[in-house]
Structure formats: C-alpha cells, structure tokens
Amino acid sequence: MPNKSATATATYNAICNAGNGQSGNSSTTITVTIKKQCAITSQYASGITLSDGSLDPGSGSDPTAVANVKSMIQQSTKYVNTPIMGWGLPDPWPDPTTPNPTDWSALDARVQLAVDTGKTPIITLAIAPWWMKGAYNGHGQTQTLTANDEWQPIAYSSRILDNKMDKWTHLVQAVAERYMQPPYNVRTFQVWNELKGYFDSDINNYDFTTDPGQPNGANAKNGYTYMYNQVYNTLLNTASAQHIATQDIKVGGPYVFTDIWSNARQSDPSKVTTPYGIFDQRPLDVLQYWLQHKTGAGFIIFDASLENRDTMKVLNQNPFAAASLFADMVKWIRALDPKLYPGSTTLPINLSEWFSWTEIDGTSVDEDNALKASTMMQFIQAGGGTALSWDNAGNGGSDYGLWTSTLKPGGGQAYPWYNTYKSLMDNFGAGTTIYITSVSNPAAVTALASNRQLMLVNTTANPINVSVNGTTIPLTPYQVIITH
C-alpha cells in the first residue's frame, strides 16, 4: 500500500516549499503569491537588550528623550533584556573578600525598567567579576585578572576560572533569588555572551565541552557546556527552593556568534554554502555539541551579523543578499536529527543579538528600514522565535536602530525601523497564522503574509510595481508597507 503520510508530505513540500522566481525576472511587475493552503503559526516576539546604559539613572541622557523611549518600549516590544554587569552596569560583587554581592542598585533599576514598561524581563548571566575570571592564552597558560582589568578588553575575553566555578554559581544563585521574586518575577535567563573567553588557540576552536577543566588551580580550561550545566542546575534548584515551578524557568544557550566567510579558502569552512558566503564550522560544532550534552534548556540562542568575517564588509555592499542569514540558521538547526540533537526541532530558536546593516556610512534611513524589515520577515517565516535588538540607537551612519540617541536634547525619536518593528510585533507576533509566500523576483521584494495583514518591502533603489491577487501596488525605493 502507498505511504499516505509520505505522499502528503511530498505534496506539501511541492506546493509550500517551492522556490521563489528567478532574481533575473525582467517583468516590470513583480508577482507575490500568498499560499493560504500553507500555513504556519508564528513564534516571533520582539525584544531589546539594554546594552549601553543610556536609559539608566544618572546616564546623562535627556530626560524627555528617555521618557519618549520608554513610551516606545511600552508600545512595541515584549521582552527587555539586561546583562548582570558590563555594558553600562557596574560589578555587583567587586570585592572577593566579601561573602556575597554588595551592590544591586544598578541592576535593580535595569530590571525595574522592564517591569515599569509592562515588559517581560530577561537576565543574561554575563559577564562575571574580575576575580572569578581568567584568559586562556594557549600552551596551558592562564592569565588571571586584577581589579584594574575589570573593564579592560581582557575582561571581555575571559572565562570563569576552573577553581572559581562555585563562586560563579553562588553569584547566579544570588541573582536568581533576588530577581525571581516580586516585583521582578524573572523567569528567563541567557547563559553567557558569545562564548567570550572560551576560544582556545591550541585547538583553533571553542572549548565547548562538558570538561570541568583543572579546578586544582587558577586555570581557565572548563568547557562552555560544563559551565552552562552548572548554571542551569543552579537556576532550577533556586527556583525549587523558592517554591517556583521549575517548568516556568526558561534557560537558553549556547549564545554563539555565527561567522560567515566570503569563500571556502578560510579557516574551518563548513558545508553550509549560501549566496552570501560559507558558514564557519566552529559555531555549528558548538550548537550541535550543546544540544547533545545540555542538562536541559528552554530555548536555543545564537547571534550573527551580515558581514563576512574575513572582509568585515557586507557582501561587497550587497547586504540584501544576506538578509536570509538568520532564517537560514533557523532552518539549519531545524533540519538536525532530533534523535542525535535533542531539542533541535522543538525548542524555540531565538536571537540573543542580531545585526543587519549596510556597513556604508550615509545609508538612508529608508534603506536601513528595508534591510532590517527583510531580515526579520524572513526570520519569522522560517519559524524564528524571539529577536533581541542590540545597539538600539544605532550608530547614525550605517545602522539607524530604533530611535535617535537619548544623549542629545531632542533625542529619543523613532526611526522608520521602529514603526516597522512595532508593526511586525502587532501583526505577525507569536500565535498569528503566517502564510507562505512566493515572489517572482525575490531579489527585489520581500513579502510576509498573515491572516491579518501583508507586509511588502522594496529591497531596491528603484520604484517597482507589485501584483497581489490581481491588485497592483506601487512601491517607492526601499519602501516598507503593510496592507490588507
């Protein structure tokens, strides 16, 4: 007898996963087809990371600008994330002679901002006090830090010392005890930041294993997954001790940066080849190992940027070709065998950070908006989850972010991307029915359809016409519109 399930799957793939048209289509009108028979449920939620201190009390920001930004946060996003120290925050436990952290005031204010704006707080457990960390310099040599190193580059390229893991988990426990309780009620935690300090020059790869290292001394050889599992267990044990349901605690890793090479003649190219470059194998190794050896997890996190690592430029100034990067990474994870990589097909896949910019000073705000919109639309259609924005005021030249800098009078004003960002959350957020679309010229138009709205992006510097269900919609250069 024929396999009905296999036949149904093949039919679905033939209809719903059929490729878009050729980018060289010369028609003056571009056709967008909405496949309502091919529906998925959106997993998407927007979020921001407080990464520069500009909204903190005493930051020197213009009060009116800060108030404007808080209002925008209230209206547009679901999550507000903060690290426990660094990126504008002081060390809560700078003195190793004290038995416990001594200063929570700045972190309190950060998490309170999330509460005050009605958002769900996330805490990223990174970085750590200077005296807990060391930089592995290769050949068995670890450089320990001094108090003077606290905010120097070495502090951001150091990992937890093998013999200080208990101090680190004590800090994690203290964070959890404080912020799992009202008024904060934190339930979501990210572990570390981009595997900082975990790169091992001896092996030209990350130390990502469950190896505890050499805890008989001040060595920095423990693997990321070992540290992650210690943190995971600490968080769940702390929740249990506070009579909080452990299933409500969501912990994510491995928070690895996904590098892309411009060609295969580089260090550690993978077999994942795309029009915009070659994925580096090492971050893929991290993700696969972590999936296999984690004690548990509530979600998967990674981050990336559109530029190629070897050139640090965006595809020779063709960034829209790389706008599918985050969607492609979601698809790669989902394609892993769940028997070998538990959670690869079921855990939410979130962006701990994401960077979509042109790298060209003088980029227009419209092009910036179009690029970010196209990037997120493809991420949503691929089944991506939460996307946490970093550098929310951008750099003002090649990346405009969500709003203008609050450090200047009259700042805190919405860039075009803010309005698109809000619209994505309002119209395509988690639980919304998303219809698969195909575009006759995908190099010129990105489309995202839901049971509520249709978003269209002109990804070119030229005016174009788009045909949807027999209706022609004109788009100006880099225009982003939403229509019924």
Cα dihedral across residues 15, 19, 22, 26: positive or negative: positive
What token pair was written down for 301? 């996190």
**430, 307 Cβ separation under 8 angstroms:** no
pLDDT in tens, 449-458: 999 899 999 9
Query: Taking the CB of residue 390, how many other CB atoms lie within 10 A of it?
Result: 18
Domain edges within the chain? 43-435
CATH 3.30.565.10 fits 43-435, yes or no: no
* Average of per-residue pLDDT across 214-229: 98
Which pLDDT belongs to residue 355? 95
- Which element (helix H / strand E) includes 370? helix 365-381
- Look at residues 93, 112, 114 and name the one whose alpha carbon lies nearest to residue 102: 93
pLDDT in tens, 298-356: 999 999 999 888 887 777 668 999 999 999 999 999 999 999 999 999 999 999 999 99
- Which element (helix H / strand E) includes 137? strand 133-138
Give the separation between CA 123 and CA 49, rounded to whole angstroms: 9
**pLDDT of 5 higher than 60:** no
Degrees to nearest 5, angle at CA 334 with 51 and 337: 130
**pLDDT of 362 higher than 70:** yes
Maximum distance among all alpha carbons in the chain?
Answer: 74
Provide the whole-model pTM: 0.94
Per-residue confidence band for 18, with pLDDT thresholds at 50, 70 and 90: low
Strand 199-200 and strand 205-206: the pairing is antiparallel
Percent of the chain with pLDDT over 70: 94
pLDDT in tens, 133-186: 999 999 999 999 999 999 999 999 999 999 999 999 999 999 999 999 999 999
Rounded to the nearest 10 degrees, the angle between the axes of helix 416-428 and helix 63-76 is: 30
15-24 burial string, b = 16+ CB within 10 Å, else e?
eeeeebbeee
Q: Which residues contact 370 (CB under 8 A, 6 or more apart)?
A: 320, 457, 458, 459, 478, 479, 480
